[in-house]
Amino acid sequence: MTQRHPEPESDASQSTQTSTSQVASTVAQGSRRNPALRIGAGILAHWQVLASGLLLGAGVIGLHETYEDYCGRTDLTYAPNEVRDAIELASEESGFRTGIIASQVETESDWRTGASSHAGAKGLAQFTDETWAMYGQGDPTDPSASIAAQGRYLGYLKERLAPFAHNDDELLRVVLAGYNAGPAAVEEYKGIPPFGETQAYVTKITELADTKYKVTCDPDPQFSKEKLHTIR
């Protein structure tokens, strides 16, 4: 059998190898002389690892957001089902989240549609005849009508008392104080009036909003579902 000897490489092939070696040598020398170039070369060499890390991080964030959507985050878990729609409308009207509306109703009347006060206020959101004439429509003891008026009145107070707050939390507190003591009292004291009843009122609502009616996927089991009551 005739043995075949490898053919000598062509001049073009040898030239290509020589050029590649020269480029590699040049980069290596440049890297030794320039630390920044060396770091850049290292980053480029590991770009796949870096890209994988970024994609993994984005995936974790995406999964978290998907879970938050899927779990049905809400602040109305414990509010009566009968008035959920009314609460959502009042939230849109006032600019305060639904959990604030529910917390205030619970504080005002404990979900008793026939509740009345020594001052003559009545209904779920406790309106006097004078205030109802300005913000209410229909029967003040009607749950949906009462909550609708609550949303309108809160929206009015929010606009009127905004100069006495520096942030959203302060604004919520002065608005609640104005609902309880009247907006004139807030304006007189340039903030929450020094009335024990009003201060306790604001504290109770904000605490309920941060616990029972907070926005969450995992409602606190110490609380129970509320229902509307017709008793006074």
Of 108, 130, 187, 226, which one is the catalytic site residue?
108
Whose tokens are 């004139």? That residue is 184
As a whole number of angstroms, the distance between CA 191 and CA 168 comes to 14
DSSP letters for 22-91: HHHHHHHHHHHH-HHHHHHHHHHHTHHHHHHHHHHHHHHHHHHHHHHHHTT-BS-TTS-GGGHHHHHHHH
Crossing angle for the helix pair 84-94 and 143-160, to the nearest 10 degrees? 20
Q: What is the DSSP letter of 164?
A: G
Class of residue 45 by CB neighbours under 10 A (exposed 0-12, middle 13-18, buried 19+): exposed
Residue 93 a catalytic site member: no
Catalytic residue set? 108
